[in-house]
Amino acid sequence: MRKHWKLITALGAVILVIAVAVVLLNPPTPAAKPDDPSSLQASGKFGFPVSGIKIGEGGTKTASDGKSITGYNGSCDSAAQAAANYAHLLRDVNVTTWTQQKKTLKELSETGPWFATATLAGDTLAGLKEQPPGTFEGGWVQRSDVTAGGMYRLASCEAKKKAVVQVFTGSLDGRTDSVPLASFGTVTMQLGWDGDWKITDAMPKADDPYFGGRVKDAGPGGQDPKGPTGAVPILDESLVNWVFRDKSKEGWVEYANAKR
């Protein structure tokens, strides 16, 4: 058990670094706007614009896992939807379903060096003979809740070519000594067009929070200051200020179905 404790502690640190480090930067040229500016409604309750696009929509097909949405039209709005719908593949770790998740991530990607980083924690934990301490609700070590964060920022986009998208999401993280701890973080990915949006790069390294100059800052994030509660809280003004405490709010847009 002591061996597993050390392993889960080390891997927890890896997951936290990955979750907090993922970010988007402004590109050298001005960021492209969504295809339909009229889709941005009046400001939401925290002062961010609210888009007409929703998490969980935008595509016409699903991947082999039966739930990850694919089949986008190539617009910049659809890139923002694809990023939200792909984010769980970069953030979730469930030791019982990991093999399928990794397969789906590979289907929706052009793999590169980033892929090893994205799959390190899952490969290690799923390879254990016993479920690691802190696992909750049927094999989860980390479970994302994208609508709990419910925001995105387009760092750059050229329709049917390439986009860099930042997605702000919540998650529950397993703890060995308590119920799961909620946290918020930024998932960064570059998408390329190959008849559909595919992840071509993701998971910025801890020493490269600006994603090679493609993103503006390290994106909002942080653990729930209330400590482990077993649930991801609904954002309020104090939580928004906490996760954005040293980050810019410029460019962030709420998805239409964000939890508020």
- Mind listing the pLDDT tens digit for each residue in 186-213? 999 999 999 999 999 998 888 898 899 9
Cα distance between residue 61 and residue 43, in whole Å: 32
pTM of this structure: 0.84
Q: Which of 239, 248, 214 is nearest to 27 (CA)?
A: 214
The pLDDT tens digits for 23-82 are: 333 333 333 344 444 456 668 999 999 999 999 999 999 999 999 999 999 999 999 999
Whether the pLDDT of residue 215 is over 90: the answer is yes
Tokens of 241: 């200020």
Do 240 and 218 contact (CB within 8 A), yes or no?
A: no
Cα distance between residue 212 and residue 201, in whole Å: 11
pLDDT of residue 8: 44
Whether the pLDDT of residue 13 is over 70: the answer is no
Q: Which of 57, 86, 35 is nearest to 255 (CA)?
A: 57
